[in-house]
Amino acid sequence: MYTRHLVELYFYMDFTYDEIAMILSIKHNMTISVRHLKRKLHELNLTRRKGYSDLDTVLSFIEYPLTASGQMHGYRWMCQKCLLNGLKVKKEDIRFMLRMLDPQGVKLRQRRCLRRQQYFSKGPKY
């Protein structure tokens, strides 16, 4: 029971299988092979390549940063933002959505010709 919770915890913290096995052996004195760890994860229905978020939810999440400062960033930054907000997505899906929602920004990033932020002030030394 105790091992199950630890395995789940480290899995959701996005450690690799080797790292989980090493942490369990060093920190918790539980020697477990990587193969046995994979069997445990299979029993708990924990997989890395399944259970992606709904594309409509991801699309609505991506639209908001594109209206603000997110238009300067690429798909890797957008993938990180999705992961930080609990959305599990494929990078290819993000790239496709960005091409669809912001084609001009994608072209500028491909040419490495980025726009600078514009600052407005009422006068010098204001």
The mean pLDDT of 43-56, rounded to a whole number, is 83
Same-domain pairing of 59 and 94:
yes
pLDDT of residue 1: 59
pLDDT mean across residues, the chain = 84
Same-domain pairing of 80 and 105:
yes
The residue segments making up the domain with residue 18 are: 2-43
pLDDT of residue 119: 75
- The reply to whether 121 falls in a domain is no
- The reply to whether 118 falls in a domain is no
Query: Given pLDDT bands bounded at 50, 70 and 90, which one contains residue 59?
Result: confident
Q: How far apart are alpha carbons 48 and 107 in whole angstroms?
A: 32
Q: pLDDT tens-digit profile of 70-118?
A: 677 788 888 888 888 888 888 898 899 988 888 888 887 778 766 666 7
